[in-house]
Amino acid sequence: MRCIDCCVHPAIDINELRQWLPEPYRGRRLPPVGDKTYTLPIAATSATVPAGYAADPSLTASFLFDACGIESAVLVPLTLGWRADTRHGAVIAGAMNQWLATTWLSPEHNRHGRYYGSIRVFPGEVDHAIAEIERWAPDQRFVQVVVATHSVAPYGDQRYWPIWEAAERHHLPVLLQADGGGGIEFPPSMVGYPSHFIEYNTLLPSGGILHVISLICQGAFERFPSLVVVLADGGFDLLMPLLWRLNKEWRQTRFEVPWIERQPSDYLLAHVRVLLGALDGPGDATSFSKLLELDHIRELLMYGSRYPYWDMLEPSEALLGQPDRLREKVLYEKANELYRFRTTATG
């Protein structure tokens, strides 16, 4: 069965990034990518991914394309979270884009044309974010924009609208990804800091979902009718109950948000996609199937492995027990339709 992997995390040594940083930032100390408050209490990589593979484009290609049977992979590098020095955060994002273009997407490592890239932008510097989109959008190797879910305001806030306008103008979806940390560590929940990783990871998808609610309620999807956001951290089983609740609130208080012209959940099919996570939904196939029947949830799902992390979902394990037609749509068709892969550029 054909498969597009929408979420592959190439590993980078932070010191390797320095050569693309301008002064005075090149000499500043940086924490490691992925250095965050809530660390996994077990081995940091999937038991099926050999150590060091994620730092090597050739080994990763062998694993994903040969061993797993994946046709194309969208690379989503992690950065360093939200920086207090917003200009620093912006130049880190820019350096990451240059690193990705020069390494994994280069003719040397992408001669097969099966790697595609993501444009990392830092929303704290709107003008810089737009400049990065304008710089890389014409490069056919890049197929989406990526922002971290941690932010100082929900993404429906109008300060961010110029970024969404630039993404929409270039027909690029926007992926929301819980970043690697190392910057300002915002409380990961509305009630502060959990004590354990298990609590943190359970709440992880909620950040992207809250941004979706904000984008709906602030009217961003009305303003940008072709904008699509992708929730990289799963949580479709959390998304739908919250949208049902939002529908009820909207019916009672819609006078407060007259720009919302449809029932809130009606925006999902046109504007939201959710990457299927290994921890999403009930464990048995029958209950999972019933959940997928609710409000066209199956139309929102795409496949993303989260390679090389511990919760990596291999294609052979995705939607086990579900009809082949559904698996084909989630594993391949939805992503192919969204990203509209172009001929991979070289150079």
- The predicted model gives 35-60 an average pLDDT of 77
Instruction: Evaluate if residue 215 carries a pLDDT over 90.
Output: yes
Selected from 1.10.3720.10, 3.20.20.140, 3.40.50.300, 3.30.930.10, the CATH number assigned to the domain covering 4-339 reads 3.20.20.140
What is the reported pLDDT for 188?
67
pTM: 0.93
Over range 281-290, report the average pLDDT.
Answer: 87
CB neighbour burial string for 170-204, b if at least 16 within 10 angstroms, e if fewer:
eebbbbbbbbbbbbeeeebeeeeebeeeeebbebb
Peptide bond into 173 cis (omega under 30): no
pLDDT (tens digit per residue) in 240-254: 889 999 999 999 999
pLDDT surpasses 60 at 182:
no
Tell me, what's the pLDDT at 79? Answer: 85
What's the mean per-residue pLDDT of the chain?
89
How far is residue 316's CA from residue 305's CA, in Å, rounded to a whole number? 11
pLDDT tens digit sequence for 107-156: 999 999 999 999 999 999 999 999 999 999 999 999 999 999 988 899 99
> Residue 98: pLDDT above 70?
yes
Position 40: which residue type?
A: L
Domain residue ranges of the chain, discontinuous segments joined by +? 4-339
Residue type, 81: G
How confident is the model at residue 203, as a pLDDT? 83
